[in-house]
């Protein structure tokens, strides 16, 4: 054997070891904590937006194991509630988060920045150069919508992860899976958690926003489903709402005869009800908790009778698709 061959034979195992070590490194699963730490370093997490979320979280963690323990600036700290707004996801670590907020277990809440931004225009009454009072309306809407989302995810953290074993992957993928019932119940509990933790001020904003979700959704669904009716050709919003309110006396009759019912597409996942149905349920909870703010429960009941679920009903889409609940 010549020297050269001997050298090659000696080097080959070394190369194999180095390559194997690199492969092992690449394939080692990266924990979500590590991914977040990396994204913090790379500025893929928006610290200012995360801080805002942290500030909103305070009333929701009051009296829980996370009281005084909110982290938005450093890698996830065990025992703390860790909240982050993802501004960019170059390594596709959080693909499931597209246009959403989620509690992902490990005491971590993540929000897609685009999703939060759409909330500022979801129920919009005024363009920027319009009266200040309407700007305040816009702010009230987006404040409550963001509160809803943050509070909902914290609800999952405090109610559904007491043993620290909450994992997203156990969520059902298809509506007919047996654990769908449990998860659907959790979603309702998380929404109720939001209502249970609202201050008097926020309760008013909540009532205001939830009622507007109902009217706006009704308005858009009605126009879509009655394209050719004379009603839809008289486009005043107030005329439509007046019609809706006047139809209260007929709400007890079957939906198909009342003429005022709109059909809303059921959710694809079988867990989250459409926004408007969640709004009705939360308004009901608000009624129970703060009757003075929420008003007449009969009104809610009458209004909700004008909405029905249908597989081919009106679909407002996701907020990030650019679909606002309010007409542009």
Residues that bind Zn ion (CB under 5 A): 187, 190
The DSSP element (H or E) to which 314 belongs, if any, is none
Contacts of residue 267, Cβ cutoff 8 Å, sequence gap at least 6: 273, 274
Q: Which is nearer to Zn ion, 193 or 215 (CB)?
A: 193
Nearest to Zn ion of 112, 187 (CB atom): 187
CA-wise closest residue to 302 among 236, 244, 228, 251: 251
Please report how close the Cβ of residue 91 comes to Zn ion at its closest, in angstroms: 25
Closer to Zn ion by Cβ: residue 45 or 190: 190
CB of 139 to Zn ion, least distance (A): 25
Task: Compute the least distance from the CB of residue 309 to Zn ion, in Å.
Answer: 19
CA 100 – CA 115 distance, rounded (Å) = 6
DSSP secondary structure letter of residue 261: -
- Find the radius of gyration of the CA atoms of the chain: 25
Considering the complex, what minimum distance in angstroms separates the CB of residue 26 from Zn ion?
33
Our CB check for Zn ion shows the closer of 118 and 247 to be: 118
Instruction: Decide: 175 and 270 in contact? Cβ < 8 Å.
Output: yes
**Beta partners for 102?**
110
71 forms beta bridges with 82
Smallest gap from Cβ 85 to Zn ion, in A, equals 17
Structure tokens at 52: 């805002």
Q: Are 127 and 102 in contact (CB under 8 A)?
A: no
Cα separation, 81 vs 262, in Å, equals 40
β-strands 108-112, 101-103: how paired?
antiparallel
| Cα Dmax for the chain | 101
Residue 266 contacts residue 313 (beta carbons within 8 Å) = yes
In angstroms, the CA 222 to CA 124 distance is: 19
Q: Which is nearer to Zn ion, 190 or 303 (CB)?
A: 190
């Amino acid at each position: 054997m010549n020297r050269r061959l001997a050298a090659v034979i000696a080097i080959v195992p070394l190369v194999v070891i180095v390559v194997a070590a690199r492969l092992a490194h690449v394939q080692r699963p990266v924990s979500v904590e590590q991914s977040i730490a990396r994204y913090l370093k790379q500025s893929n997490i928006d610290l200012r937006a995360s801080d805002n979320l942290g500030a909103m979280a305070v009333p929701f963690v009051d009296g829980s194991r996370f009281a005084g323990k909110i982290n938005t600036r450093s890698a996830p700290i065990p025992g703390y509630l860790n909240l982050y707004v993802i501004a960019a996801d170059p390594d596709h670590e959080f693909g499931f988060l597209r246009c959403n907020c989620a509690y992902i277990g490990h005491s971590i809440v993540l929000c897609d920045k685009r999703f939060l931004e759409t909330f500022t225009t979801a129920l919009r009454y005024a363009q920027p150069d319009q009266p200040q009072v309407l700007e305040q309306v816009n702010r009230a809407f987006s404040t409550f919508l963001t509160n809803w989302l943050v509070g909902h995810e914290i609800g999952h953290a405090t109610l559904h992860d007491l043993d620290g074993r909450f994992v997203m992957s156990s969520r059902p993928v298809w509506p007919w899976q047996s654990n769908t019932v449990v998860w659907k119940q959790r979603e309702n509990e998380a929404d109720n958690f939001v209502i249970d933790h609202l201050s008097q001020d926020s309760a008013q904003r909540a009532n205001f926003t939830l009622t507007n979700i109902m009217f706006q959704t009704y308005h858009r669904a009605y126009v879509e489903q009655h394209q050719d009716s004379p009603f839809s050709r008289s486009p005043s919003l107030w005329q439509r709402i007046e019609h809706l309110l006047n139809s209260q006396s007929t709400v007890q009759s079957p939906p198909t005869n009342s003429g005022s019912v709109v059909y809303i597409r059921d959710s694809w996942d079988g867990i989250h009800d459409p926004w408007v149905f969640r709004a009705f349920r939360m308004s009901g909870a608000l009624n129970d908790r703060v009757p003075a703010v929420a008003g007449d429960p009969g009104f809610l009941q009458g209004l909700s009778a004008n909405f029905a679920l249908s597989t081919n009903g009106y679909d407002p889409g996701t907020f990030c698709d650019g679909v606002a609940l309010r007409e542009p």
